[in-house]
Amino acid sequence: MTSGDREKGTDMGHDDTDARPTVKIASPAESRDTLALRAESLPDAERQEASRYLRAEDRDRFLLGRLILRDLIHTSTGLPVSAIVLKRDSHGRPFLPADPDLDVNLSHSGDRVAAAVGRGLRVGIDVEQHRTGLDIVAIGRQVFTPYERAVIAAAGSGALAAFFTQWTLKEALIKALGRGFLDDPRRIEIRREKDGIFQPHFVGSGPDDLGHRWRLQVLECGDHHSGALAFRARPSP
Ligand SMILES: CC(C)(COP(=O)(O)OP(=O)(O)OC[C@H]1O[C@@H](n2cnc3c(N)ncnc32)[C@H](O)[C@@H]1OP(=O)(O)O)[C@@H](O)C(=O)NCCC(=O)NCCS
The superfamily in CATH containing domain 6-121 is: 4'-phosphopantetheinyl transferase domain (3.90.470.20)
Mutate to test the pocket of ligand 1, among 128, 174, 231 (most ligand atoms within 8 A of CB): 174
If you count them, how many residues does the chain have?
A: 237
Mutate to test the pocket of ligand 1, among 151, 171, 184, 189 (most ligand atoms within 8 A of CB): 171
Q: How confident is the model at residue 142 (pLDDT cuts 50, 70, 90)?
A: very high
Nearest CA, atom 2, ligand 1: 180
Q: Mean pLDDT across the chain, nearest whole number? A: 89
223 closest CA partner among 2, 23, 29, 20: 29
Per residue in 4-54, pLDDT (tens digit) is: 466 655 544 344 457 899 999 999 999 988 998 899 989 999 999 999 999
Read off the amino acid at residue 79: L
What's the pLDDT score for residue 150?
Answer: 98
**What residues are in contact with ligand 1 under a 6 Å CB criterion?**
62, 65, 91-94, 105-109, 126, 143, 167, 170-171, 174-175, 178, 180-182, 185
36 closest CA partner among 63, 2, 69: 63
Query: Which of the four CATH numbers 3.90.470.20, 3.40.50.720, 3.30.70.20, 3.30.1600.10 does domain 128-233 have?
Result: 3.90.470.20
List every span in the chain annotated with CATH 3.90.470.20: 6-121, 128-233
17 closest CA partner among 220, 216, 179, 171: 216
Read off the amino acid at residue 159: A
181, 187 contact by CB (below 8 A): no
**How many CB atoms lie under 10 A from the CB of residue 94?**
17
Strand partners, 217: 229
Cα(180) to ligand 1 centroid in Å equals: 7
185, 174 contact by CB (below 8 A): yes
Nearest CA, atom 22, ligand 1: 93
Mutate to test the pocket of ligand 1, among 24, 60, 107, 141 (most ligand atoms within 8 A of CB): 107
pLDDT at 222 over 70: yes
pLDDT at 118 over 60: yes
pLDDT at 212 over 80: no
Q: How confident is the model at residue 162 (pLDDT cuts 50, 70, 90)?
A: very high
Query: Which ligand 1 atom is at minimum distance from the Cα of 167?
Result: 48
Nearest CA, atom 1, ligand 1: 180
Per residue in 189-210, pLDDT (tens digit) is: 999 988 888 999 888 766 655 6
pLDDT at 89 over 80: yes
